[in-house]
Structures are given as structure tokens and as C-alpha cells.
Structure 1
Amino acid sequence: MAINIVVPSLGESVVEATVAEWLKKEGDAVAVGEALVRLETDKVDLEVGAEQAGVLAQIAQPQGADVQVGQVLGMLNLAGESRAAAAPAAPPAALRADDKATPVARRVAQEAGVDVSRVPGTGPGGRVTKADVQGFAGQPKEEQPTAPVMPPPPPPTTAAPTVVSADAGRSVERVRMSRRRQTIARRLVEAQHTAAMLTTFNEVDMSAVMDIRSRRKESFKEQHGIGLGFMSFFTKAVIAALKAFPRLNAEIEGDEIVTKHYYDIGVAIGAAEGLVVPVLRDADRMTFAQIEQAIKAFAQKVDQGTLTLDDLRGGTFTITNGGVFGSLLSTPILNAPQVGILGMHKIESRPVVVNGQIVIRPMMYLALSYDHRLVDGREAVQFLVKVKQLIEDPEALLLEA
């Protein structure tokens, strides 16, 4: 008896995916729950596992193929059927039946020649992470298990780069854009074509926040197990400004204005395939420590490739921090259908005038991009001034929060 391997439900608003990698080849025995194929959507990667033990009889959709929910990816002959000479052997004791490894960890393991099934996992639910593989690969040879290394998966069939020679000594490389990169490109162009997008700028003196962090960082970390970063301050300041200027927490649906009376703040995090924006749900109800812990957890998920669609769903306003990459000033693009996004930047010591005196202060440029169809210039400027005032006066920030 054979069963179809189909594209599962991909979550809210996601109906298509790309076959990123087959983790098994035709004829391979698989255990219940073992990952067969990795799919790439415009938001996250996910693995499709075997519903029953058996043998991978057919691959219907090769690597690089675009597929839709419910479409057949391949066929699985159940254990004991005639496709294989024998039912799949039980995996060795050291091999986890479901081979829990993130896509990033799997790729690093392949590059390092490491059998990922032998790597102890420290991630959620025992999942093997990139750091686990790197640590395992760095052990002395005599410490590593002597089991044979699993062969790498078959070479890509459609998504491999094509090198085209032009003139002597010169070449170009053509690589198909990933689904996520295609979606990022499309959404960014749509945002600029559909919104009347403008950006207003200001600068903020970071002295007060940096002083608090310097005085409180040790006790904060001891109490909460997390460092006190800048993002919690800016998240709280943004929420207070959104309450004062609610149009920035709204969106346009047809000819209606939909104002949100909750505060789901998206935090842009850099990933290999481009920025992703996981969302802090009800951020107005979160403490500084909870905000910092949630952002750290999101960053770990990004690194491990374990972000879920629910992590990315919705959002009423977005904060992006180009300063972590050294950006001094930029114009952030709206995360549609949101109508506002705050851009943070690099902190630099600059001469400024305070009470008639020239002093050196740690300054940061802030940028607010907004949809002028809904937000007037006056309230956009006032919103950004409100954020500036709260960051420069953290006592007021704490009182408003």
C-alpha cells in the first residue's frame, strides 16, 4: 500500500511554497515522523515528515519546484510493502526517530561532513541547532562517534547556479531567487506603489538611557537573566506615542480606516534570506525584561530557522534597527498594511548645543516613514518628537508605560 506525501496547510495567507530540499532520496527507508522534504514559503521554512514508516517510492516534485497546499510531493510505500526488499530497519539507538534538526543545522552538518543524527540537541524539544553542530564538529576526532557519515543529499535538479562565460576571464552566476527573496522584493515594491510614503527625521540624545543601562545592567541581568538593551526603551516609547497618535496604529481597508486598540509591535531581525519581522503580541502589557527576553528568543529562532508563521502574523507597527549593522541614517520602507515604521540607527558621539554650551553627546538619528494617505505630516512629526522626548526623559517613559 502506498500513500501520497502532500503539501500541508501552510498557515494564514500562505498558499504556495517551493521545494527547497529533499532530505531523502527514492528508495530510502524512513521512520514515522522523519523529515522527508523541506519547503520554503515566503515567511518560514518547514519540514514535511513521514506520517507512517516506509520507503520513499517516488519524488513527484523536484527541488526548486513551486507547489500549492494539497499538491502531491511524492509517494511513500508503507513498511512491509513490496517496493523495498525489506521493511526499513529500525534506526540505531543513538539516532532520534524524528531526526530533529533545523534547516540551518542540517546545512552546516552537510558542509562539515557531520552526521546530524549523532549531534545532541540543545534547542527546544531537543532540536539540533547550528551551534550544536558547530560544537560537535569542533570536538577532537576520538571524541566523536565512529558511526559512518550519512551521504549528502542528491545534487539540486533545478535551482543550481548557472555559470555563463562571457568574455575571456570573466563569468557571471545566475541563481534563482528564493521564494522569500521574491516575496520581499514584491512587497517592498508594492509598499512604495500603493502607499503615499514619506519619511520624517529627528535625532535623540541617548545619554539618559545609556546612563540607566550602565547603572542597572548588572542587577537587571541578575534578576531577569537577560541584558537591558535599547529595544525595550524604544518599544515602550513607541507604544506611548501610538496611544497619543492612534492613526499610526491603524491601516486602510478599502475606504475605511481600521484603528487598532492593541499594540502588536513588529521587530525587524536580519536573517540570511532578508529581514523577518516577528511580532511582540500585546507589547503594552509586557515589562522591559519580557520585551528583551522575547526579542532574544526571536533572534535565536531566526538563527536556528525555527520561526513559525504565528511568530510573524499581523503586527500594528514596526521598529527596525539599522544601527546594529552600522547604518547612520536610512529611510525605512513600510511593512504593509501598516502605516508607520520607526528606524533606529547607529549611536555616535557628536557635538550638540545644550543650554548654550557645545557638549559631546551620544546621538542617534531616528526616521519615521508613514503613509501620508492616512497620517498627516503634523502628527507624524509630533509622533517622532514624542518618542524623542520619552527616550531623553526615561522617568516620563516609565510613568507613561
Structure 2
Amino acid sequence: MSDITIPKLNNNDSTYLLLEWLADDGANVEADEPVASIETSKAVDELVAGQAGALRQALPAGTRLSPGTVIGRILPPGVPDPGPRAGEPEPAMREATPGDDAPLPAESEPIVTQPARALMEQLNVTPDQVRGLGKKLVREADVRQLATTGQGTRLHAQSPVQAAVARTVTTSHSTIPAAFTAMRVTVDAVLVEARTLSRRMRCLVGLPEFVIAAVASLHRDFPLFFASDAGEGTWAEAAGACVGLTVDVGKGLYIPVVKDADGLTLAQIIDAVTVYRDTALHGQFSERDLQGGNITVTLHTDPDVVVAQPLVFPGQTCALSLPGIRRELHLDAGGEVGHRSVVDVGISYDHRRVNGRDVIQFLGALKRLLESPRDLLGAGGASEDEAPGGGG
């Protein structure tokens, strides 16, 4: 017999939501077959069966639970159901009692999660409004869309994703003495290479992919920029460059991580970013996508954004910002007036770990890589004469 237990997925949440069962109660499942999905403040992950057998659900979808909670078990073939263990809830039921995390009663009713029910009361959303959504599972975000007062004033409750962002911002500003520097980079050459790769890989390639590759390539020469706090004034060097990239398509701020980017070709980095971009638009991130970053690139690419100061994410040393690309006039080497595309790459950094001189050297090395992108392409394994893998 194998228990299905809620794992510890991150350090931001004390509870997770049992979003749905992926197999019916009593159904026969195979080992490693997904049987349930759970939702954190920023991601959805699947739980799998530890062995083959019959699934026994102990808790209903819509329940909010702490890590370590047993939500069900897998019974081997021929083994009778022993019933609940001491302290374990009874099998999932559709009936709800005041304060329970069970869904609303009756098979014809939608499953409404406990956080969604609490928000219904807070924002005066009626059950009829919820039924009108026509959804099998109703979550906080669904209730928030329905939330209006009698006068039609739109109310906005903080989403779980934004609540996680708020905790990160509060921790960063209260614990990290951050400083900020920016350096202007000419990007005409790298934009030409990006357009070439976009055509050849049949996917969108832009400046962020090149910045990730350039930042990752600096890991060996600037290890403290990727280090983590080891306590008592010491910093632990990272084995590789794991670069987070901010993604926000209107569904909340996420930071998926390109793992060990210093060991990837530019084409592989482009593929990874393309997958994350598609996930942000059409799917949901898993906790694995969001974990492990040791440096972050934040995007502020509206053309009217001149400079942006990112926060340093707790546990990291620095975060870079990539604002909008703009055109400017300049004097060339012969004294003639010309024009060029530039971006002011910014970096916020933990001043306890690195100093301004170190940061200027880091940005200078990054600038040289971006202004000579063929060197970066060669180091990354992509060139005009070879065909990188498709980016989807």
C-alpha cells in the first residue's frame, strides 16, 4: 500500500490547493501515472502513483492542505481497503459543513474551492453567479472576475500569484541593501543576428535570449554574482548559471529558470525560452520550471522605458534589467553623425557581496559580448553556417 502525500514544493507557500483528481476513486492506476494535481501560488504540479493498484481518494478536490498531508493511497490488487487511519479524514464526500474545505454539495453543483468560497462571501458573489460560469471547478480567480458591488464598482482582491510577489518584494526590500548601476549597450549587431535566427529557427528570437547566453557565459569569471548566502558572512559559489527570466502576459508575474545555461548552446537557450513563452500564454508553469535560479533577468521592454531598477530576489546576489530599445544620434569614429540602437542594461546588486567596481567590470564584459554577438554565437554553438534545432 502506498500513500499519496502532499510534498513540500517551495518556500513561499504554507498550504497548497488539491486542484483535481486525475483518476476516479477506485480506479486502477499504473505506477508513475498522474493521479492528482495540486496548485501552489504560482504553479500547478501533478502527483503520481507510487505503485500500481486501486486509487482510494481520502480528500476532495478543492481542499487546501499543508505539506505532508496524506490525500489518498494506492491499494495493491487483492488488498482490501483498510479504511481511514487514525487521524485521517473520511473518504471524499460531496456534502459540505460550515468551515469544511469540501466542495459545494450535490453532483450538479460546481466544485468551489475553499479560498473561492471565502472570496464569494467577502465580495458578495452569489452561488447563481458562480453557476453561470458553467465551470466544473471554480477557483479564486473565477470569483474575482465576478466580483462587483451593488453599485457596479469593480472590486479587486489580491490573487495568489500577486500575494507571492508581495511576499518576495517585502522580503527583498527589508533584508537586502541593494545598489543600482546601468550601462549603455549598442545592440544593432545583436538585433541583426536575432532576426537571422528568427528566420532560420522559425520562432521569435530577441535580445533577451542573447542576454541570457551572455550572462551565463560570465559565470566562471564572476562567480560571486551567482552565489548564494551560506551564513555568517560567507557565500556559496553555484555549480552553474541558472538564469531566471521574468514573464508576465497579464496572468501574474512568473520567473521560469533556464537551468545550467552556461552549458547550453544559444539554440538550446532559445528553445527553452520559447517553451516558457508558450507556457505563459497557453499553459501553467510547474514548480520545477520556477525553482533553482541564482541570477535573474527582468524584462521591461516597452520602447518608452528608458531604465528600470529591479529588486534583488531573496537568496540571489543580483538582478539585471532589460528596458526598451531606443534609437539615438551619435558621432562615429570619423566625427560624422550617425544613429544606433541602444539599451541601458541595469543591475541591482546586494552591496554586502559585491562592490561598484565589480559591477562595472561585470557590465563591461556583458556589453562586449552583446556588441560582438558573433563571438557569443561561436561560444554558444550557433553560427551562420550551422542549422540550430527548431524552437517550436
Residues 164 and 278 (structure 1), Cα distance of their counterparts in 2 relative to 1, 3 Å cut: closer
Which residue of structure 2 lines up, in the alignment, with residue 365 of structure 1?
344
Residues 211 and 265 (structure 1), Cα distance of their counterparts in 2 relative to 1, 3 Å cut: same
Distance between the aligned counterparts of 1:156 and 1:347, measured in 2? 39
- Matched to 1:19, the amino acid is L
Distance between the aligned counterparts of 1:344 and 1:44, measured in 2? 25
Q: What is the deviation of 1:280?
A: 2.0
Q: What is the deviation of 1:17?
A: 3.2
Which residue of structure 1 lines up, in the alignment, with residue 223 of structure 2?
246
Distance between the aligned counterparts of 1:256 and 1:202, measured in 2? 29
Distance between the aligned counterparts of 1:156 and 1:311, measured in 2? 22
TM-score normalised by the chain length of structure 1 = 0.65
2:298 to 320, 325, 343: 320
TM-score normalised by the chain length of structure 2 = 0.67
**1:7-35: per-residue Cα shift (whole Å, max 9, x none)?**
522435577333375579xxx87745698
Of 35-44 and 275-284, the range deviating more from structure 2: 35-44
Of 31-40 and 256-265, the range deviating more from structure 2: 31-40
2:159 to 172, 177, 200: 177
- Trace 1:100-119 onto structure 2 (pairs within 5 A): none
**1:60-95: per-residue Cα shift (whole Å, max 9, x none)?**
xx74x64212335589999x99xxxxxxxxxxxxxx
Q: What is the deviation of 1:323?
A: 0.8
Tell me the SS of whatever aligns to 2:171: helix
Checking the alignment, whether the CA contact within 8 Å between 2:326 and 2:341 is kept in structure 1 is: yes
Residue ranges of structure 1 left out of the alignment (5+ in a row): 82-109, 111-150
- Trace 1:382-401 onto structure 2 (pairs within 5 A): 382-398=361-377
Matched, 1:186 2:167: yes
2:353 to 364, 370, 374: 374
Which residue of structure 2 lines up, in the alignment, with residue 287 of structure 1?
265
Tell me the SS of whatever aligns to 1:350: strand
Of 45-54 and 198-207, the range deviating more from structure 2: 45-54
Residue ranges of structure 2 left out of the alignment (5+ in a row): 82-109, 111-133, 381-392
1:68 to 66, 83, 86: 66
Which residue of structure 2 lines up, in the alignment, with residue 145 of structure 1?
none
Instruction: Report the identity percentage.
Output: 22
- Matched to 1:171, the amino acid is T
Distance between the aligned counterparts of 1:58 and 1:239, measured in 2? 44
2:317 to 334, 339, 351: 339
Distance between the aligned counterparts of 2:19 and 2:321, measured in 1? 35
Tell me the SS of whatever aligns to 1:16: coil
Tell me the SS of whatever aligns to 2:316: coil
Aligned alpha-carbon RMSD (Å)? 4.1
Which residue of structure 1 lines up, in the alignment, with residue 96 of structure 2?
none
1:231 to 201, 208, 216: 208
Distance between the aligned counterparts of 2:15 and 2:353, measured in 1? 34
Q: What is the deviation of 1:41?
A: 1.0
Checking the alignment, whether the CA contact within 8 Å between 2:3 and 2:72 is kept in structure 1 is: yes
- Matched to 1:177, the amino acid is S
Which residue of structure 2 lines up, in the alignment, with residue 212 of structure 1?
193
Residues 324 and 30 (structure 1), Cα distance of their counterparts in 2 relative to 1, 3 Å cut: farther
Q: What is the deviation of 1:194?
A: 0.9
Distance between the aligned counterparts of 1:298 and 1:247, measured in 2? 27
Checking the alignment, whether the CA contact within 8 Å between 2:53 and 2:75 is kept in structure 1 is: no
- Trace 1:6-45 onto structure 2 (pairs within 5 A): 7-11=5-9, 13=11, 16-19=14-17, 21=19, 31-32=27-28, 38-45=37-44
- Matched to 1:275, the amino acid is L
Checking the alignment, whether the CA contact within 8 Å between 2:246 and 2:254 is kept in structure 1 is: yes
Matched, 1:267 2:245: yes
Of 239-248 and 281-290, the range deviating more from structure 2: 239-248
Count of residues in Structure 1 that have an aligned counterpart in Structure 2: 320
